[in-house]
């Protein structure tokens, strides 16, 4: 039975998302509901590849139900057909980019977004047993699309992100703030390379931008863990720590260390078209 919101007081603590995923049955379905950024099928594909590599035996399935131009109200209108009828075990919900109407902050716009998003989450929680993760809208790149800067659209998106966080808490859903981390990542990239741009049209990320979104999503849900991480005291010839791996046949002296490292999962493959994410990858923190 679906877990219902608790209007009579503080919402019960949600289980860590890594525990949710670990306890899913084999063949569980993940559904990604959203607008054109989801429909691009890039951050969703990266998340799929990551989860498949970490839980290979689970045989998870994945469904992209992003639709260009959609707002939360549109997601609600097609929720039965596109999501509930498929009986997913996990649903991510990412709306807001179009809900802001590409204009300066407006209270009426915020009220409409809150009403529609809460109605969508209410149905998901009452008609499905799925674990739900609400994602804030990502920022726009005002350098790539100056008109969005003129209307202060990132201010609008920041307020929509706050609404999304409140709605998630009200309805017992997990929440991932994409807005602030991605805005920081964009600025960090430009501090390293002034012409760096992960959002060519200002709204829709390229492959590198989607890879960073996927990381922020996985990190926000506590799922971004290394395939292997080990610390070795070479002088003592000891393994001090080993995360997600086994270290065997350790031989060391003051000049070298040799060992066999058996990782719990393969390294994540980064396609050439997303390689520009390297500008910020080494500095990314959950």
Task: Pick the closest to residue 115 from 189, 64, 167 (CA basis).
Answer: 167
236 and 213 co-located in one domain: no
* Residue 117: burial class (beta carbons within 10 Å; 0-12, 13-18, 19+): buried
pLDDT at 278 over 90: no
pLDDT score, position 57: 86
Average per-residue pLDDT for the chain = 91
246 and 214 co-located in one domain: no
- Average pLDDT of the segment spanning 157-166: 98
Give the span between the Cα atoms of 243 and 264, in whole angstroms. 9
How confident is residue 11, by pLDDT bands cut at 50, 70 and 90?
A: low
pLDDT score, position 9: 45
- Answer whether residue 286 is part of any domain: no
Pick the last residue of a domain from 180, 212, 227. 227
pLDDT score, position 99: 98
142 and 251 co-located in one domain: no
144 and 257 co-located in one domain: no
Pick the last residue of a domain from 212, 227, 242. 227
How confident is residue 284, by pLDDT bands cut at 50, 70 and 90?
A: low
118 and 218 co-located in one domain: yes
214 and 242 co-located in one domain: no
153 and 206 co-located in one domain: yes
Instruction: Give the total number of structural domains in the chain.
Output: 2
- Average pLDDT of the segment spanning 151-172: 98
- Answer whether residue 268 is part of any domain: no
Task: Pick the closest to residue 73 from 51, 96, 50 (CA basis).
Answer: 96
Query: Could you tell me the two tokens for 197?
Result: 């741009």
- Answer whether residue 97 is part of any domain: yes
Could you tell me the residue range of the domain that residue 145 belongs to? 17-227
Long-range contacts of 264-270 (CB under 8 A, 24+ apart): 264/54, 264/227, 264/228, 265/53, 265/54, 265/56, 265/227, 265/228, 266/53, 266/227, 267/227, 268/49, 268/50, 268/53, 268/227, 269/49, 270/211
- Answer whether residue 269 is part of any domain: no
Handedness of CA 59, 93, 206, 191 (dihedral sign): negative
Residues of the chain above pLDDT 90, percent: 75
- Answer whether residue 29 is part of any domain: yes
pLDDT score, position 101: 98
pLDDT score, position 255: 80
The tens digit of pLDDT for each residue in 248-258 reads: 999 988 788 89
pLDDT score, position 12: 60
53 and 147 co-located in one domain: yes
256 and 115 co-located in one domain: no
How confident is residue 129, by pLDDT bands cut at 50, 70 and 90?
A: very high
- Answer whether residue 2 is part of any domain: no
pLDDT at 142 over 50: yes
92 and 204 co-located in one domain: yes
153 and 136 co-located in one domain: yes
Give the span between the Cα atoms of 167 and 44, in whole angstroms. 23
pLDDT score, position 92: 98
188 and 247 co-located in one domain: no
Handedness of CA 164, 42, 183, 216 (dihedral sign): positive
- Answer whether residue 252 is part of any domain: yes
Residues of the chain above pLDDT 70, percent: 94
The tens digit of pLDDT for each residue in 38-71 reads: 999 999 999 999 999 888 889 999 999 999 999 9
pLDDT score, position 49: 93
pLDDT score, position 3: 40
- Answer whether residue 84 is part of any domain: yes
Q: pTM of the entire structure?
A: 0.87
Query: Are the CB atoms for 215 and 284 separated by under 8 Å?
Result: yes
CATH code, 157: 3.40.50.1110
Give the span between the Cα atoms of 203 and 153, in whole angstroms. 11
Pick the last residue of a domain from 227, 253, 277. 227
């Amino acid at each position: 039975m679906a877990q219902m919101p608790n209007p009579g007081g503080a919402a019960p603590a949600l289980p860590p998302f890594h525990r949710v995923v670990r306890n899913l049955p084999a063949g569980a379905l993940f559904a990604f509901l959203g607008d054109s950024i989801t429909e691009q099928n890039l951050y969703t594909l990266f998340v799929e590849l990551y989860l498949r590599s970490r839980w290979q035996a689970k045989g998870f399935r994945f469904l992209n139900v992003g639709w260009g131009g959609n707002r939360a109200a549109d997601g609600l209108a097609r929720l039965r057909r596109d999501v509930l009828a498929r009986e997913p075990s996990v649903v991510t919900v990412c709306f807001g980019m179009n809900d802001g109407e590409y204009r300066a902050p407006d209270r009426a716009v915020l009220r409409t977004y809150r009403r529609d998003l809460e109605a969508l989450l209410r149905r998901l929680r009452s008609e499905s047993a799925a674990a739900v993760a609400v994602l804030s809208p990502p920022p726009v790149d005002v350098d790539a699309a100056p008109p969005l800067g003129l209307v202060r659209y990132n201010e609008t998106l920041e307020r929509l992100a706050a609404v999304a966080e409140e709605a998630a808490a009200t309805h017992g859903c997990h929440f991932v703030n994409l807005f602030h981390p991605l805005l920081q990542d964009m600025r960090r990239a430009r501090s390293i390379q002034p012409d760096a741009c992960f959002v060519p049209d200002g709204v829709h990320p390229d492959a590198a931008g989607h890879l960073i979104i996927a990381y922020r999503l996985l990190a926000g849900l506590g799922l971004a863990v290394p395939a292997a991480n080990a610390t070795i005291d070479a002088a003592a010839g000891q393994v001090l720590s080993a995360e997600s791996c086994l270290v065997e046949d350790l031989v060391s002296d003051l000049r070298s260390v040799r060992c066999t490292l058996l990782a719990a999962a393969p390294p994540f493959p980064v396609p050439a078209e997303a390689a520009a994410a390297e500008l910020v990858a080494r500095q990314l923190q959950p």
